[in-house]
Amino acid sequence: SRTVRRNEDGVATVAGIEVTRLAEEFGTPAYFLDEADFRARCRAWADAFGKDADVFYAGKAFLSRAVVRWLHEEGLNLDVCSGGELATALAAGMPAERIAFHGNNKSAREIERAVSAGVGRIVLDSFQEIVQVAHIAQRLGRRQPVQIRVTVGVEAHTHEFIATAHEDQKFGIALADGQAAEAVRRALKLDGIELIGIHSHIGSQIFDMAGFEVSARRVVQLLAEVRDEHGVELPEIDLGGGLGIAYTSEDDPREPHDIAKALSDIVTRECESAGLRTPRISVEPGRAIVGPTAFTLYEVGTIKPLEGLRTYVSVDGGMSDNIRTALYDAEYSVALVSRRSDAEAMLTRVVGKHCESGDIVVRDAFLPADLAPGDLIAVPATGAYCRSMASNYNHALRPPVVAVRDGEARVLVRRETEEDLLRLDVGH
């Protein structure tokens, strides 16, 4: 990450603090998040999209009260997808009208909470939910702004588990067979909701804009059909998140400015040809904002050379703090950060301490051949979907998230303790 530098002893520093000092103070494994970098990325997205578009940070990537405050201060909105994320957002003072509420199976309680709080939009994910949200809002004496999430039928070029716009999966309502048009018909009839737009999210860790093009084109077609049938021009479209980041040196992500321009050009062009006013565009990047801002620091433990194969390097965390390699075959890089080494490189696999052979953090990694127990290694780009998907598997204590800024470090989310685990264990 561009935020990590080396001093003359080869020790990495972040925001002016040596990582060896961070390890002493906060222990390992731990996530360290560069606040200035996070804020800079928020600003880059907000500036790129400008006044006529909205950026919603996807809280599922990583959320804490400090993060909510930073988003608020940097002018971003927030996408939440559960009652827990909503509670965090509200507790940290995010104005409700800047919150979008997602989810394919929102509970009645969650919907009531979101409507009562006055969230800016609820993204409807099924026919069932159109009616349910309308009834709840009506009972609460509200008219809830909503978008309908559609699946546009594109195959995003990414891992199967994180592609979401093909038809055989649980999210949204298909554009195919007039289903989305039928959803709009029903939504427009209900008093409790105000249909303000259409939503499409095609998947995650995507570099190619082609999927977004198809998605935007099909959503605009739907807007044109809605205009023809009902005489209303829906004012908003949301194209979701999913913009890729660099996990290894092979990944080449686009800048927010490029992405904003590409999306706005497509939507404008399609709307012109359909004779529609250009709707307000919104996007929901999670990974692209928080992913690159954090790294995980581990301490090396057991080192096991396997003759003719590779050397297995075990660290003090693993799939409980980063499930992405096991779940999606995700790629990461790793570097020795606690000292300088001029030793030659050896092929390693960085693995965790869990009771599974699939407990891999970095599948193929070169590390110096003089690597020794007690060395600290860092895995960059772990800001998104690592702490937020962390587990207590094998009763691992989930690591802290420490924000670093201008030579100072402070805990955003503390490390769990054994008491935390025992507190959940209420049977005798």
| Among 83, 197, 285, 380, contact with ligand LLP (rule: CB under 6 A) | 285
Which one, 300 or 381, has the nearer CB to ligand LLP?
Answer: 381
The token duo for 243 is: 């913009």
Residue 58 as a binder of ligand LLP (CB under 6 A): the answer is yes
| Among 59, 286, 383, 400, contact with ligand LLP (rule: CB under 6 A) | 286
Which one, 133 or 336, has the nearer CB to ligand LLP?
Answer: 133
Q: What is the pattern of x (binds ligand LLP, CB under 6 A) and - over residues 152-191?
A: ----------x-----------------------------
Choose the binding region for ligand LLP from 220-228, 235-243, 300-308, 396-404 (rule: CB under 6 A).
Answer: 235-243
Choose the binding region for ligand LLP from 55-63, 227-235, 336-344, 375-383 (rule: CB under 6 A).
Answer: 55-63
How many residues sit in the footprint of ligand LLP (CB under 6 A)?
Answer: 21
- CA–CA separation, 393 and 401 (whole Å): 18
Choose the binding region for ligand LLP from 241-249, 257-265, 346-354, 355-363 (rule: CB under 6 A).
Answer: 241-249
| Among 106, 121, 201, 387, contact with ligand LLP (rule: CB under 6 A) | 201
Asked whether 169 and 110 are in contact (CB, 8 A), the reply is: no
Within 201-344, strands assigned E span 236-238, 280-283, 294-306, 310-315, 335-336
- CA–CA separation, 53 and 143 (whole Å): 23
Residue 146 as a binder of ligand LLP (CB under 6 A): the answer is no
Question: Mutual orientation of helices 65-73 and 83-91 as an angle, nearest 10°?
Answer: 60
* Enclosing H/E stretch for 197: strand 193-199
Which one, 32 or 62, has the nearer CB to ligand LLP?
Answer: 62
Quote the DSSP letter at residue 8: T
Which one, 214 or 288, has the nearer CB to ligand LLP?
Answer: 288
Short-list 200, 203, 201, CA closest to 163:
203
Would you call 355 a catalytic residue per the annotation?
yes
CA distances from 317 to 75, 167, 226, 323, 351 (A): 35, 37, 52, 11, 8
Residue 102 as a binder of ligand LLP (CB under 6 A): the answer is yes
Site for ligand LLP in 374-393 (CB under 6 A): 384-385
Site for ligand LLP in 339-368 (CB under 6 A): none
Q: Three-state DSSP class for 63?
A: coil
Question: Mutual orientation of helices 256-274 and 210-230 as an angle, nearest 10°?
Answer: 30
Site for ligand LLP in 255-284 (CB under 6 A): 284
Q: Is the dihedral of CA 235, 241, 246, 251 positive or negative?
A: negative
Residues that bind ligand LLP (CB under 6 A): 58, 60-61, 79, 102, 162, 201, 204-205, 240-243, 284-288, 324, 384-385
The catalytic site residues sit at 355
